[in-house]
Amino acid sequence: MSANSKENGKFLYREGRYSDALESFSAAGIEPSEDLDTAYFMSLCYARVGKLDAAMELLGQVSREEKNLVRLYQVRMLLSWLLVETDNIEEAEKQLKEVLAAGFESPQAWSALAYCQWRQNDIELALKSYQEALKLDEENPNAVNGLGYILAESGKDTGRAIELCRRALESNPGSVAYRDSLGWALFRAGKTSEAAFHLTEAHSSCPEDSTIRSHLEAVKNHANLEGN
């Protein structure tokens, strides 16, 4: 019975029925501390339903005991993402450095590390980490966009920033984050009209995002000053 409930929990997770999956895992009567596979899938469900503390507790347990290297990489990447989501940037950076030191180099790991470094105002380190990501995959859209955004934000190379952000958006035209980055890069380069177009589009798609809103307000304020 417990095995059937466990397999049913996995099925429900894959179907996107995360609360139902958690109920099924509980019905299995298996202690997560005694079954790393169950702990892993329960952590995924908790993350999906917004119970991040519960997800991180289970992921921490799995990361300490997991022997499968592929699963361990997945666990630590997810744990670092949840740490970022809960604003524990220093601990997320620590996790990512350990992932990379263990030989799990990937564009995703380097890009996530770069983001953490940028959040802590380590601009030069962030730029280097994004460049490391691009060495592994020069077309990785997150790395392309991230490098472009930091080049724009720091004012180091707004021309290249526009090129990179435009490339990222072309790879995924529906990405609001990439459109915001392009708009901001254009604004930092003095291309106010085109910046306003992209930022307005981004804000329309995601009006609750405070970063996009602040970028659009900066462009509008600049345009008002030019008009006076």
Residue pLDDT, tens place only, 123-170:
999 999 999 999 999 999 999 999 999 999 999 999 999 999 999 999
Type of residue numbered 103: G
Assess whether pLDDT exceeds 70 at residue 227.
Answer: no
Within 10 A of 19 (CB to CB), how many other CB atoms are there?
11
d(CA 2, CA 99): 34
Alpha carbon 78 to its chain centroid, in Å, reads 10
Place of tokens 């291309």: 191
Predicted confidence band of residue 9 (pLDDT cuts 50, 70, 90): very high
pTM of the prediction? 0.87
d(CA 216, CA 196): 7
Assess whether pLDDT exceeds 70 at residue 1.
Answer: no
76-123 pLDDT, tens digit per residue, is 999 999 999 999 999 999 999 999 999 999 999 999 999 999 999 999
Type of residue numbered 126: A
d(CA 94, CA 31): 29
Structural tokens at position 30: 């298996």
Assess whether pLDDT exceeds 50 at residue 228.
Answer: no
Assess whether pLDDT exceeds 90 at residue 224.
Answer: no
Predicted confidence band of residue 208 (pLDDT cuts 50, 70, 90): very high
Domain boundaries, the chain: 1-104, 132-228
d(CA 87, CA 99): 19
d(CA 127, CA 77): 20
Assess whether pLDDT exceeds 70 at residue 2.
Answer: no
d(CA 191, CA 110): 31
Report, at the CATH architecture level, how domain 1-104 is classified.
Answer: Alpha Horseshoe (1.25)
Cβ within 8 Å of residue 17, ≥6 positions away? none
**Hey, what CATH topology would domain 132-228 get?**
1.25.40
